[in-house]
Every structure is written in structure tokens, then in C-alpha cells.
């Protein structure tokens, strides 16, 4: 019987793990005896998303596969073992504990280490690198006694490290040797835009800085620069680049490059044919690849060639396009971002107000896209990259590719994907083509993106290709003649719009009735709150009656906060509040020891209430005229207001009075997602109405009504629906708009997202709302008026209904409060203790 080939893998990072996975999929075990040696104390984990560790993601969640996976597949995994010697002649490796492990084929996946500049004082206490879980644990521990941190390096890793120190509550400085941030990915204009966004977040940027010394005694207290300036800090994180781990190769006389890296050929063999190198330690045609996608491709090449022979598959120069989110900011570069050697013309779109920069490099004849840069918004990255890689002919106006599209044409993205050739690589991490994905959908009847991921592995790496997988699924099913339908979830074979109509026409008023009549099973966390929202939008029943299908916030009519306590946010229409109400807020806050904060929506938040205290707090607030502010619900939050003509010399209409009227009209109305509004008393726009779901701006003749704006992660200005409206007409159009949105949007879909997918865009919306093109205006007004007429204050109902009030206890069998609650003092008030 033929003995299995002994394959030893040195290094258990992402690429080492991926090599094992790919080798197993090609042979299914038996032909190889695989041993993996990793110097870290745990199996491979996801370094791409390492920063998530600071925001609560556990080591287990980051782990690529547990130790049990290796055992189940017959792989010997040795963790905490460091290989110190390779003997190419005798075909064995030796670890620091003296283990000698023989091999037939050796795969070096040693990756890279953090580059630490040889600067005097770099060994001081408080200086860290940003590379492993252990590094992150050390940073977290030291940060508890620090206040100001400097990150040396303004590249990808440096900005990730800056995000980490910012999350740790430290004053953060980024020190970069180059004249701009991310010099390998961004041009001067794009880097400038990124710098402004970083500074807006409170990160201070220092460019053109060459660190000459780490100041201090045993511990670092600052940095000195070559230009004579200095920076006081008590913690430093070095993230100035990587160095390939090639020390084993040097020891074994394996060829390395003049600046480091293990030299490999197109089969990824080193100067010893039985030894391969993959990932960041490998130097291929003078290039070290610092991204995970080329590392995975290297793993694929070696696995193929071990199974089928050394010349079957070759590694080619790999595209280094990349898209990532740095500190909440989209950044991407693709193709040739600078085109330094290629004749080209440039298209630039720059919006300094929104912090968006987009650059396209096109051929001088305008036919083809060569590359580009995206900062602040990178939704089109996937299609732009495919346009470059597949040399697709550009449209007559190439700038349309990066200009904002607000037509609500939901088909465009899918059509773009459909136009790609079958050989187009959709998932660069796993190198999976469009043709392979479409074939898998057809042959295996894959119903959703999750099934595509499981079947093909596409989308399981960085995740950047997932939107294209969704588009490919839709297009493939359409070609098969199948109905592409968005159902609520596995328990209901209807869309939200269909469910809304069925509930309304059938008269069903509880979740149990709805699932019995139109669904199956017991429901889930997707359909239960969606149905609860629809029931509330149709019948306006007390939401607490549906507590069994609500999340925690709606169940207790308060937002659960970090630490396990709740916030109390009473409604303050238009921001107008009486002295008696202000006194009551202070009295309640003092009595229950609550943290107080004035919100951006002109209300007062009271934080730190225990669940059993909520009804008592509400009772005291109700006595002075307060009611629920619905800060916990998918409903109207606030109608922000300036003082308008009441006090302001520029005001042309009574903004406060109208804001109060608007808020009192629409308060409590449940919708697919939260709603925010504002009324500005003149075009100076002090209430920021154009960033709201519906905003109203005063004119000399009345009101301009704007709809479908959005703040948050993707800010979007609202668009003008109608001009110079009187009070009654303005409210009538808002009635119609809100009910049309409530009836047709998807679950948890904000008005801006709903509008962007609305076929026909603003022209269509005006036809429906103003011109009544669908003949439903009277119906929309009638349904909205019903909600206004049946309004109830949810706090008062809870306080006055014994069975609802009885729910407000931490333990079901005793009256004791939660004993685990911990608080610390901060600026004269309390806050939750750190986790």
C-alpha cells in the first residue's frame, strides 16, 4: 500500500489554514498526511477583521476553524511550537522544543511580522506592535493607564490601529513619514479628503514626520521628530508596514530577495523544489503581496500542483485592488489608481461637504476604464473593478458611473453584473468566477446568498462581493423563468407589502392569528417584530399587547443600554418645554440617580433606570404633562425645530408652532423604520430639515416639503416634493407620503433606502402623492387619520394596566433589582462600568 505523502505546513495563519482546506477539497483525505505547525497558542484566526476584537468580537468568532476541525480531517495541528530549523537535505523541520518532523513536501506559510523601525528608545514600556491577539490584549491592558496614544504609520494597518486606540477612549495621533495618508492607495486629493474625515472624528494627523527618538525613561512619554518638533504621548502603537518572515529560509540557505521574501517561481516552489512558500513570506517576480486574496490564490496553486503535478497551475501577477472601511469611512482603489506610466484622462467627482472623492482613470479615447480611487463612498467598487478587469466598454458618459444615482432604478446593478463575461472573477478571495456561481445556482437550486456561500465559498473571505452575489442570484433565477420574490422569512411566503394587505383585509389582530392564517411554524426574530409593526401601523393597538413578539426595547418601552439599564426619553414637541417640566426632569433624575443628556433632537435623555423603576419614573413624568417619546420604537422620534419667526429676526414662518403640530399629529405612528423630521423657519436651515425622513422649510409663501433624507452611516439629502404649501396642504401631502411608505417599504427600510429603490424616483412619487396617479390618495389620508384619532400614550397605558405593569421586574420570582449592575463616576454623573 502506498504511504501517504507527508506534507508539513509551517505557519497557521489565514493562508496556512486555507491551504489545508483547499488540499482537502481536492483529495478528500487519505493521499496526504498533513502536519501544521503554528507558533501562536491558538488555531488560525481572521486577521483581516482583527480590529473587531476591540468592539467585542471574541477570539472564537474570529477563528477560521477550531482545533476540532483539524482533528476531524486527520490533520495534526501543533500550536505554540516555533520551527527553528529546516534541513532540506534530510527533509525534516525542528521546533524549539526539539521536535523533529519529517516531510516529503514543505509549505512555508510563515507570513510577515510588524516592521519595527530601529529608532532609539523603541524598546521602552508602552510601545506596541499591532499584529496578533496577544498584541491586542497587551494594548487593551496598557491603555487603561494611558490617555494619549500615537500610531506610527498612516497606511491601512496604521489607520486600523488608530481606530482601535480611539475605541479605547484615548486621544489619538497618527504619525506618517509620507506627505499623505495611505500613499500606496490614494492620490493627494483622496488622501486629503480622508485626512479631513479622520480629523473630524478627533484623530490628529501628523504628516511628513520622521521619528528620531522615543522619549522617556523606562516608559515612553513622547516622540521626537527629525524636524525638531515633538509630541507628548504615553502610549505608542507601531504599524509602519510588514516584513516577510524569511528567517527560516535564510537559515536553510533557501534563496531570498535582496530586501527580504522567499523567492518562488510560478509554481511557488523555492530554490528547493520540495519546499513551497505562500502568502506574505513569498516573493514572486519581485512582489510581496500583503492582501489575503493573493495568499488564498497561492494556496490554491500549491494544493492543485501537489495533487495533479507541478506544472498544472501557475500563479500569475495578482490584482491589488482593495476596498475596506476605515473608521467608518469607505476607501477603495482599483486597477491603476495613479496611471503613472499609462496615457489617460481623469474624471474627478469631489464633494467636500459630504466628504466624498471619486477618481476614474480612463483611456484617452474614453472607451475603457483603467483604474480609480474612491473615498467616502464605494458602493460601485465591485462593478468598477469588473469593468477594468474585463475591459468592458464604457458608457457614453463615464462620469455616470460615480455620480450619485437617485432614480430608484433597482435593476441597474443586476443588469451590470449580468453583462459580465462568465470568466469574470466575482470573489477575488476565493477566485470564483461568475460562471461558476451561476452554474452552482442552477445545478443546486440555490435559493439565497447564504446557500451560495456554503456551496461555492464565494463571499466567505472579506465579504466585499456579497452584493454582486445577490445580483447574480436575482438575474440567474430570472433567466430560469422563476419568480424572484422577496418573502418576509421562511415562515411566510409573502413579501411585507403582501402581508400588510392580507392583515388589513382579513382583520387578523394578533401574531398567532396571522401565522395560523397565512404562515407556518412558530415564527422567528425576523417576522415577529415585522408583523408587530404592521399590526400597530394598521390598528394602532397598544404595542405592549404584542409583547410576546417584540424585542426588548418595545417590550419595556425604553432603550436597553450598555450595562443593562434603560433610558427614559419623554416627548418634547418642537423642543418647547415649560419650567415646571424642566424642574420635574431634574427632580426625577435626582431621585432615581439618572444620567442626564440633552440630545440632538431637542429632548432630554435620562439614562441608568432599572427595569422595575420605569413605571414609577413614567408616572411622575406623566403628572407634569410628559408622554412617551418613542425613542425605542420604529416610529416618529422627533420633529426638530429652530425658533422661527417667534424669536429669530430671520424667521419667516412660525417653525416652533408648526413643528409642535406636526409632531403631535404623527407621534406614535408605527412604521417600517424610525422616522425623523424637522421644521426650519427660513432657508438658513438651522433645524437641518434636509437630512430628515421628511423636512419642512419655511418660505415667504408657506412651506417647502422635502422627503427621503437620511443621516447616519450613509447621509443623504432629502429631495423637494412640493413648494410654497399652506399648512393644511403640507400636512395632507405628509399624510399621503407616510402611509405610502408604511404600506410599501421593506422591514427595517429607512425612507431614503426605500426611495432609492423606487421605480421612477421623484417623478413617480410626486405623481402618487400630489397627482394621485394611483387613485389611492383618499385611502392614504383616511388610514393616516385613523392612526391620529386612535393615538394612545404607551407609557400611560403601561402605568395604568396592572397586567402590563407587572412585567417590569428583573426577576420573575423575586422583587430584587439586578445585582450585577455596576457604575462609575464621570464628570459629576454616573455611567456604566467598562466591560
CATH of the domain at 158: 3.50.50.60
The per-residue pLDDT for 28 is 58
Considering the domain architecture, whether residues 668 and 783 belong to the same structural domain is answered as: yes
Determine the Cα–Cα distance for residues 578 and 478; give it in Å rounded to an integer: 59
The per-residue pLDDT for 552 is 72
Which residues sit in the known binding site?
Answer: 642, 648, 682, 686
| pLDDT tens digits, 677-716 | 999 999 999 999 999 999 999 999 999 999 999 877 677 8
Which residues sit in the known binding site for [4Fe-4S] cluster?
Answer: 642, 648, 682, 686
Least confident range from 537-546, 659-668, 693-702: namely 537-546
622, three cell numbers: 406623566
Is 306 exposed, middle or buried, given 0-12, 13-18 or 19+ CB atoms closer than 10 A?
buried
Q: Cα 214 to chain center, whole Å?
A: 36
Q: Would you say how long the chain is, in residues?
A: 835
Considering the domain architecture, whether residues 253 and 106 belong to the same structural domain is answered as: yes
Q: Give CA torsion, residues 247, 251, 257, 258, to 10 deg.
A: 90
- Residue 567 belongs to some domain of the structure: no
The per-residue pLDDT for 677 is 96
Determine the Cα–Cα distance for residues 359 and 374; give it in Å rounded to an integer: 7
804, three cell numbers: 402590563
| pLDDT tens digits, 37-91 | 999 999 999 988 888 788 778 899 899 999 999 999 999 999 999 999 999 999 9
CB 74 within 8 A of CB 29: yes
Which residues sit in the known binding site for siroheme?
Answer: 686
Q: Which residues pair with 105 in a beta bridge?
A: 7
Considering the domain architecture, whether residues 657 and 742 belong to the same structural domain is answered as: yes
Q: What average pLDDT does the structure give for the chain?
A: 89
Is 652 exposed, middle or buried, given 0-12, 13-18 or 19+ CB atoms closer than 10 A?
middle
- Residue 722 belongs to some domain of the structure: yes
- Residue 348 belongs to some domain of the structure: no
- Residue 319 belongs to some domain of the structure: no
| pLDDT tens digits, 123-155 | 999 999 998 999 999 999 999 999 999 999 998
Q: What is the DSSP string of 301-323?
A: HHHHHHHH-TTS---------EE
CB atoms within 10 A of CB 147: 12
Helices (H) and strands (E) in the chain, counts: 26, 37
Considering the domain architecture, whether residues 419 and 467 belong to the same structural domain is answered as: yes
Considering the domain architecture, whether residues 253 and 180 belong to the same structural domain is answered as: no
Angle between helix 466-479 and helix 434-444 axes, rounded to 10 deg: 50
Is 210 exposed, middle or buried, given 0-12, 13-18 or 19+ CB atoms closer than 10 A?
exposed
Determine the Cα–Cα distance for residues 431 and 228; give it in Å rounded to an integer: 49
Considering the domain architecture, whether residues 412 and 270 belong to the same structural domain is answered as: no
Is the pLDDT reported for residue 577 higher than 80?
A: yes
| pLDDT tens digits, 751-783 | 998 998 888 889 999 999 999 999 999 999 999
Considering the domain architecture, whether residues 24 and 61 belong to the same structural domain is answered as: yes
Last residue of a domain, one of 207, 223, 240: 240
Instruction: Give the count of domains, the chain.
Output: 5
Considering the domain architecture, whether residues 532 and 653 belong to the same structural domain is answered as: no
Is 731 exposed, middle or buried, given 0-12, 13-18 or 19+ CB atoms closer than 10 A?
buried
- Residue 721 belongs to some domain of the structure: yes
Considering the domain architecture, whether residues 136 and 228 belong to the same structural domain is answered as: yes
Is the pLDDT reported for residue 415 higher than 50?
A: no
Q: 350 φ, ψ to 5°? A: -135, 125
Last residue of a domain, one of 550, 570, 585: 550
Determine the Cα–Cα distance for residues 87 and 90; give it in Å rounded to an integer: 5
- Residue 438 belongs to some domain of the structure: yes
Least confident range from 363-367, 521-525, 544-548, 594-598: namely 544-548
Determine the Cα–Cα distance for residues 261 and 280; give it in Å rounded to an integer: 8
- Grid cell 418576509 is found at 488
- 290 versus 310: the higher-pLDDT residue is 290
- Residue 787 belongs to some domain of the structure: yes
Q: Residues 414-426: what's their mean pLDDT? A: 75
CB 725 within 8 A of CB 704: yes
- Residue 769 belongs to some domain of the structure: yes
Domain of 24, in residue numbers: 5-113+244-308
Considering the domain architecture, whether residues 37 and 104 belong to the same structural domain is answered as: yes
For the chain, the C-alpha Rg in angstroms (whole number) is 30
Last residue of a domain, one of 456, 483, 510: 483
Determine the Cα–Cα distance for residues 667 and 795; give it in Å rounded to an integer: 13
Banded pLDDT at 551 (limits 50, 70, 90): low
- Grid cell 445556482 is found at 441
Determine the Cα–Cα distance for residues 535 and 785; give it in Å rounded to an integer: 16
Considering the domain architecture, whether residues 760 and 651 belong to the same structural domain is answered as: yes
Considering the domain architecture, whether residues 102 and 142 belong to the same structural domain is answered as: no
Report percent pLDDT > 70 for the chain: 95
CATH of the domain at 471: 1.10.10.1100
Amino acid at each position: 500500500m502506498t504511504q501517504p505523502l507527508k506534507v508539513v505546513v509551517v505557519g497557521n495563519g489565514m493562508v496556512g489554514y486555507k491551504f489545508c482546506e483547499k488540499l482537502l477539497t481536492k483529495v478528500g483525505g487519505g493521499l496526504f498526511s498533513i502536519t501544521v505547525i503554528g507558533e501562536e497558542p491558538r488555531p488560525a484566526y481572521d486577521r483581516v477583521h482583527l480590529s473587531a476584537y476591540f468592539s467585542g468580537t471574541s477570539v472564537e468568532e474570529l477563528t477560521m476553524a477550531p482545533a476540532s476541525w483539524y482533528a476531524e480531517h486527520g490533520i495534526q495541528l501543533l500550536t505554540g511550537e516555533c520551527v527553528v530549523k529546516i534541513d532540506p537535505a534530510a527533509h525534516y523541520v525542528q521546533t524549539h522544543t526539539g521536535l523533529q518532523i519529517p516531510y516529503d513536501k514543505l509549505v512555508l506559510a510563515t507570513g510577515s511580522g510588524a516592521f519595527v523601525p530601529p529608532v532609539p528608545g523603541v524598546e521602552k514600556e508602552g510601545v506596541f506592535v499591532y499584529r496578533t491577539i496577544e498584541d491586542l490584549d497587551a494594548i487593551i491592558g496598557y491603555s487603561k493607564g494611558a490617555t494619549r496614544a500615537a500610531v506610527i504609520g498612516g497606511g491601512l494597518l496604521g489607520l486600523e490601529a488608530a481606530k482601535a486606540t480611539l475605541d479605547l477612549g484615548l486621544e489619538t495621533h497618527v504619525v506618517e513619514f509620507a506627505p499623505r495618508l495611505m500613499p500606496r492607495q490614494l492620490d493627494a486629493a483622496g488622501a486629503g479628503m480622508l485626512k479631513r474625515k479622520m480629523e473630524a472624528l478627533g484623530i490628529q494627523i501628523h504628516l511628513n514626520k520622521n521619528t528620531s527618538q522615543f522619549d522617556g525613561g523606562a516608559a515612553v512619554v513622547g516622540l521626537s521628530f527629525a524636524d525638531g518638533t515633538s509630541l507628548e504621548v504615553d502610549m505608542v502603537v507601531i504599524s509602519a508596514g510588514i516584513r516577510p518572515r524569511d528567517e527560516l529560509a535564510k537559515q536553510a540557505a533557501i534563496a531570498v530577495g535582496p530586501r527580504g521574501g522567499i523567492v518562488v517561481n510560478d509554481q511557488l516552489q523555492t530554490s528547493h523544489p520540495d519546499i513551497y512558500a505562500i502568502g506574505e513570506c513569498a516573493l514572486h517576480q519581485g512582489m510581496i503581496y500583503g492582501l489575503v486574496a493573493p495568499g488564498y490564490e497561492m494556496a490554491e496553486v500549491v494544493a492543485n500542483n501537489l495533487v495533479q503535478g507541478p506544472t498544472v497551475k501557475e500563479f500569475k501577477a495578482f490584482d491589488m485592488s482593495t476596498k475596506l472601511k476605515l473608521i467608518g469611512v469607505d476607501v477603495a482603489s482599483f486597477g491603476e489608481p495613479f496611471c503613472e506610466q499609462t496615457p489617460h484622462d481623469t474624471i474627478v467627482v469631489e464633494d467636500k461637504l459630504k466628504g466624498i472623492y471619486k477618481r476614474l482613470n480612463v483611456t484617452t479615447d474614453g472607451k475603457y476604464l483603467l483604474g480609480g480611487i474612491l473615498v467616502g463612498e464605494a458602493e460601485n467598487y465591485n462593478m468598477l473593478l469588473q469593468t477594468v478587469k474585463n475591459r468592458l466598454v464604457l458608457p457614453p458618459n463615464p462620469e455616470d458611473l460615480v455620480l450619485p444615482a437617485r432614480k430608484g432604478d433597482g435593476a441597474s446593478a443586476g443588469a451590470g453584473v449580468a453583462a459580465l463575461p462568465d470568466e469574470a472573477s466575482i470573489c477575488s478571495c476565493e477566485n470564483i468566477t461568475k460562471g461558476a456561481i451561476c452554474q452552482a445556482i442552477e445545478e443546486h437550486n440555490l435559493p439565497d446568498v447564504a446557500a451560495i456561500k456554503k456551496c461555492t465559498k464565494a463571499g466567505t473571505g472579506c465579504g466585499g462581493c456579497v452584493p454582486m452575489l445577490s445580483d447574480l442570484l436575482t438575474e440567474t433565477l430570472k433567466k430560469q423563468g422563476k419568480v424572484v420574490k422577496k418573502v418576509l422569512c421562511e415562515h411566510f411566503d409573502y413579501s411585507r407589502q403582501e402581508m400588510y394587505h392580507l392583515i388589513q383585509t382579513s382583520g387578523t389582530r394578533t401574531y398567532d392569528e396571522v401565522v395560523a392564517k397565512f404562515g407556518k411554524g412558530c415564527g422567528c426574530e425576523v417576522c415577529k417584530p415585522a408583523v408587530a409593526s404592521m399590526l400597530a401601523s394598521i390598528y394602532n393597538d397598544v404595542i405592549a399587547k404584542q409583547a410576546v413578539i417584540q424585542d426588548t426595547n418595545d417590550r419595556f418601552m425604553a432603550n436597553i443600554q450598555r450595562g443593562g439599564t434603560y433610558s427614559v426619553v419623554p416627548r418634547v414637541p418642537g423642543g418647547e418645554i415649560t419650567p415646571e417640566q424642566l424642574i420635574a426632569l431634574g427632580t426625577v433624575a435626582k431621585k432615581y440617580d439618572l444620567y442626564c443628556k440633552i440630545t440632538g433632537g431637542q429632548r432630554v435623555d435620562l439614562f441608568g433606570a432599572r427595569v422595575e423603576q420605569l413605571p414609577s419614573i413614567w408616572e411622575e413624568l406623566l403628572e407634569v404633562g410628559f408622554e412617551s417619546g418613542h425613542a425605542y420604537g420604529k416610529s416618529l422620534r422627533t420633529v426638530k425645530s429652530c425658533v422661527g419667526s417667534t424669536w429669530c429676526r430671520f424667521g419667516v414662518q412660525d417653525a416652533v408652532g408648526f413643528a409642535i403640530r406636526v409632531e403631535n399629529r404623527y407621534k406614535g405612528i408605527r412604521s417600517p423604520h424610525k422616522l425623523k423630521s424637522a421644521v426650519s423657519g427660513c432657508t438658513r436651515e438651522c433645524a437641518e430639515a434636509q437630512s430628515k425622513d421628511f423636512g419642512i422649510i419655511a418660505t415667504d409663501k408657506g412651506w417647502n416639503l422635502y422627503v427621503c433624507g437620511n443621516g447616519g452611516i450613509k447621509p443623504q439629502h432629502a429631495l423637494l416634493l412640493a413648494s410654497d404649501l399652506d399648512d393644511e396642504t403640507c400636512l395632507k401631502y405628509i399624510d399621503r407620503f407616510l402611509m405610502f411608505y408604511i404600506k410599501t417599504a421593506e422591514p427595517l427600510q429607512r425612507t431614503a433606502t426605500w426611495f432609492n429603490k423606487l421605480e421612477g424616483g421623484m417623478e413617480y412619487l410626486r405623481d402618487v402623492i400630489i397627482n394621485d396617479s394611483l387613485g389611492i390618495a383618499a385611502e392614504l389620508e383616511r388610514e393616516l387619520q385613523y392612526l391620529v384619532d386612535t393615538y394612545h400614550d404607551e407609557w400611560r397605558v403601561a402605568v395604568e394596566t396592572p397586567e402590563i405593569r407587572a412585567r417590569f421586574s428583573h426577576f420573575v420570582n423575586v422583587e430584587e433589582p439586578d445585582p450585577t449592575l455596576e457604575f462609575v463616576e464621570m464628570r459629576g454623573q454616573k455611567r456604566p462600568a467598562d466591560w
